[in-house]
Structure 1
Amino acid sequence: MIDPASAIDGDFDVLVRDGEIAAVERAGTRTNLPNATVVDVSGYWIVPGLIDPHVHLRDPGFPQKETIQTGLHAAAAGGFTTVAAMANTSPVNDSRGTTAYMIEREKEVHSARLVPVSAVTYGLRGIELVDFEAMIEAGSRLFSDDGIPIDDAMVLSRALDEAKRLGYAVALHEEDCALSCNGALNAGEVSKRLGVSGYSDSAESQRVRRDLAIAIGSGAAVHVCHVSTAESLDLIRAARRHGAQVTCEVTPHHFTLDESAAMIWGTNAKMNPPLRSHGDVENLLAAIRDGTIDMIASDHAPHDPDSKRMPQLGAYFAPGHPVPQLDHESAKEFAHAANGVVGLETSLGLALQLVHRSMIEPTRLIEMMSVNPAALLRMEAGTLAVGAIADVTVIDPNLEWTVAPEKFLSKSRNTPFAGMRLKGRAVLTIVAGEIVYDARKA
């Protein structure tokens, strides 16, 4: 059992009753429980339910990409008991009605929990703030216009003041669009070789610089989504020294892959922010080790093949193919392909590589994938203490498996990890005492 919030890391038995943790005792202490269902997880890790603070479930609005049903089943298969669903749906989650729709769909699924993320501004237009109090009352626990930066500094300042007043955080998509220039890949040798537009590091870091200055002035809690550059990390460290309440997340694709993945996987390695240089990846790994990065988030972004321009470009890219030189029309198609990769079913396996490579301890992994996301979402979760809700993930850290997109429970298959061998996977996902995913039956 690994429960950082309770300072537990050892062999324990966990008793669940009526959806709560009823007892945590040294392994073998209780041997006579005639009315209990006994699940033998010897050799596995029992951890507080994993929480993904950043996913896109595309529902309402884009059922060809994902639905709340398929997304929550994918989350449970990945070991997540809770996911925070971003607001860039259609309609945007900027009203009580859309939030209520999401929560009602969740109740029908009986799988992982869904925490709605409210938009910061109506329609994600960056102009008029949503009714923060109404959205919290409806069930939202985080505010973000993710996918679109908030360009107006005054609008952001007012949003931070409102979030601070109510005790919640604002999650920021950090991009200066005047500098990113609709770039398709990181500005560098790979973008040049493929002949597609580049997206500079400074597009992220300059906006991080501005927004953290505003955050320091307001004293509000801010969260930097999908950090990808060394300079952004330095700015976050500096802001903390100046008193900023800032947390940040990194995605498994950003700490596992660099920009060269686009030469193999094409648009399935296209996301915003883009995969960066090898040096940036090394800096992200260092920031995971030293504690600068608080959370691992999948940024699960499902897309259908047409959105990824696979009919036009799929034949150009595959493992073992020579690097293509895209013609002008193909480069335009690449630029117009949707950003993002699916991640709910690969996130834990990729994150566990950090443990197997002795870069972090298991306790640190659980802090990043359960304890800290729970705090960001203002949830009473991230622990297996007696009395806590029985959200539990059971992990086999030594199970070796191959990423097979055709077996995903997600509706979409857009991943740059197809065929990768990973070590470690969730085998049981338990929400409020109910087993919602059991790999033994999958």
Structure 2
Amino acid sequence: MGAMSDSPAPLADPHLVFDAVEGRRDLVILGSTGSIGTQAIDLVLRNPDRFRVTALSAAGGRVGLLAEQARSLGVRTVAVAAEDAVPALREALGARYGTEPQPEILAGPDAASLLAASDCHTVLNGITGSIGLAPTLAALKAGRTLALANKESLIVGGPLVKELAAPGQIIPVDSEHAALFQALNAGTRADVRKLVVTASGGPFRGRTRAELADVTREQALAHPTWAMGPVITINSATLVNKGLEVIEAHLLYDIPFERIEVVVHPQSYVHSMVEFSDGSTLAQATPPDMRGPIAIGLGWPQRVPDAAPAFDWSKASSWEFHPLDSEAFPSVGLARHVGALGATAPAVFNAANEECVDAFLSGRLPFNGIMDTVTAVVAEHGTPATGTSLTVADVLDAETWARARARELSAEAKATAEARA
């Protein structure tokens, strides 16, 4: 392997710390009522000497929880994307604050971006989906350290993110990328031979494509290891999440796709590995718990004591590793393809998948139909034009087309299935 000194600097580099400060860090948490947000708040409440939350944002569907979070943290501002959620939010805040001063309320599609650019040290982007792109760009443009759990914003807007991000400004929060981030600290970029991204295999590990044909919604939502939202859980069942993580690893660490491998590790103890040029492999391992990666995102280069459980090495355990079945789970190969195409291709892949997951969850598409339809949409999109700079408008246009086309193909597939029945 040749040295990588001529390659661009990686977005996430553990050797570089962007705007490191001593003392307590002010945080903004985006997506506070989701899985990442609630675990981050648990971490903050257990470490009041390390962190202070100044603002929270959420979609607006769980205003009671948002109000409770705001009260427990003493934030200055809360934001909801859904403007029609404001009356219920005001009522929920009133019930918890009583006669005490309440936080400022922001609402609308730009509210999270406004918070991302507000005065703080670190922005944790825990929003789900490509709607997290605008807040990601806002945080980077404002010079904030970005603890990035919203992989979709990097997937769909890779060139835009890379253009804005300073070296060391992004700290990854996905368990796999936080693992790579830590393992990479053991050597130089020129020493890296391969990144190995681990996958639990989801609930259908070991099944053939034919055996996946009749998978139900309930079966797909029963993840054996992680408790996550429905979209992420289905992405784990199809292994689309692993495809997205391969693209993300390529963008974060500037490692070519052919040197990023996926292996199935059912126990989810080893979160990812780095193979170095001398033949050694460093693995980052903890029991499955997202508070560890969140603590890396919020506290790096310092570690947060007891952020997550540790292994009990006095107990026997077995760790397995298996090759990926690319025939049953073609999503990783397709993700490599769109990642290599670049431009708007990853946005088309991601948007089509989100629509197909919704169609599956609502009974309008069979499980195997998710990737069949996404593959068809990507093929129709073709090879993106090169030689021009990607813009946010380009991404939004590509997503709009991909969503519409995925809905059309899903409807056609449902009509065909009903006609045959």
TM-score under structure 1 length normalisation: 0.28
Higher strand share: 1
Higher helix share: 2
Greater relative contact order (CA < 8 Å, ≥ 6 in sequence): 1
